[in-house]
Structures are given as C-alpha cells and as structure tokens.
C-alpha cells in the first residue's frame, strides 16, 4: 500500500478509535450521573417518609445493609413484608368478626405484625399495632375494631410508599437509568 494511503488509513482508524472511546466514556459518565441522580432521588424519598412519620431511621439502617448483603436485599424483603402483613391483617379481621373474640390470639397477631414492622422501621404502623394490642389486653372489642381500622389505613399509606420506593430501587439495581 502507498505510504500516504497507509498514513491516511491509520489516521482514519485512530480517529474512529478516539471517537468510539470518547462516546463510550461519555455514555458511561452519563450513566454514572444518572445512577447518582436516581440514588439521590431514592434517599430523598426515604427522607420524605421519615419526615411524614411513616418510617424512622431503622428503615435507612436496614436499607444500608445492602452493602454487605447484596443489591437485591430490599427488592426481596419488602414484598415479603407486605404479603405477610396483609395475611396477618386478614387474620385480625377474621378474629374480630367472630361472635366470641379470642383476644389472646388477637394479641399474638398484634405482636407478630409489630415485630416485622418495627424491624423494617415502619414506626407509624408499629405504634398502631401497640395500641391495638392494648385494646386486646383490655378485651374491648369496639376499641379493637377502631384500632384495626387505623392500622389498615396506616398500612395502606405505608404500602403505597413502599411500592413507589421499590420502583426506584428496581431501577437502580437493574441499571435502568432512562428517564432520569
């Protein structure tokens, strides 16, 4: 090949290489920036839940366990918590529908729900569980029914926020940064 053609060929390839490298670097940087933006959005979301009194610092503390336990920790944990809690709430409703309420059983259900709820930092629902338990200890059916409705309301709010949180978390974990 003629030397000038060779030089032209080589310089063209070098330019292409530099262009591809720059493009790759640019999109990698854009991806990193998008990840940072999404992560910031997620932490802002956690803060908003704290500010609204839905969760306390235990929620963020649990979330930060991801570092040592893998990125899918919360994606697996939260749906389990929601599902198990819904089951317990159904059992509570069924118990209070009985003509003769077994208050001891209701107490146990309160303790069960409060345990998992407190451990993920969902303080508002945990507090409501404590109030229902006190009503069950007092064997006051009317108060139990009232407290159960309050728990359901608080749990509904919590579930909605957790589902929105999970949506952000899924995007982070699956590297889906589009739309940031």
Partner 1 sequence: MATSNGSSTGTKITALVVDDDRVINAIHCKRLNKLGIENHVAANGKEAVDLHCSGKKFDLILMDRDMPIMNGIEATRELRAMGVRSIIVGVSTRSIKQEIQEFMDSGLDDYQEKPLTSSKVISILHKINCNEFLD
Nearer to partner 1, 112 or 141 (CB): 112
Q: At what angle do helices 103-119 and 73-97 cross, to 10 degrees?
A: 160
Query: Applying CB under 8 A, which of residues 34, 38, 49, 77 lies at the interface with partner 1?
Result: 77
Residues 119-148 that bind partner 1 (CB under 8 A): 119-121, 126, 130
CB closer to partner 1 out of 35 and 62: 62
CB of 46 to partner 1, least distance (A): 16
- Do the beta carbons of residue 89 and residue 151 sit within 8 Å? yes
Non-local CB neighbours of 177 within 8 Å, separated by 6+ positions: 31, 34, 35, 37, 38, 171
Taking CB under 8 A as the binding criterion, the range among 1-9, 21-29, 35-43, 112-120 that sits at the site for partner 1 is 112-120
34 vs 100, 132, 142, 176, CA distance in Å?
57, 44, 52, 9
Residues 20-59 vs partner 1: string with x where CB under 8 A? Answer: --------------------------------------x-
Distance of alpha carbon 84 from the chain centroid: 15
């Amino acid at each position: 090949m003629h030397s000038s053609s060779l030089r032209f060929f080589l310089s063209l390839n070098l330019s292409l290489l530099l262009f591809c490298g720059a493009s790759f670097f640019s999109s990698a940087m854009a991806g990193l920036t998008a990840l940072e933006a999404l992560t910031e959005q997620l932490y802002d979301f956690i803060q908003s839940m704290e500010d609204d009194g839905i969760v306390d610092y235990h929620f963020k503390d649990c979330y930060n366990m991801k570092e040592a336990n893998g990125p899918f920790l919360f994606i697996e944990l939260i749906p389990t918590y929601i599902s198990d809690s819904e089951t317990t709430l159904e059992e509570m409703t069924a118990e209070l529908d009985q003509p003769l309420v077994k208050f001891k059983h209701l107490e146990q259900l309160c303790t069960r729900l409060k345990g998992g709820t407190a451990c993920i930092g969902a303080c508002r629902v945990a507090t409501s569980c404590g109030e229902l338990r006190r009503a069950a200890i007092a064997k006051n059916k009317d108060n139990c029914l009232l407290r159960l409705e309050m728990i359901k309301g608080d749990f509904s709010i919590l579930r909605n926020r957790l589902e929105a949180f999970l949506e952000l978390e899924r995007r982070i974990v699956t590297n889906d940064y589009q739309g940031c």
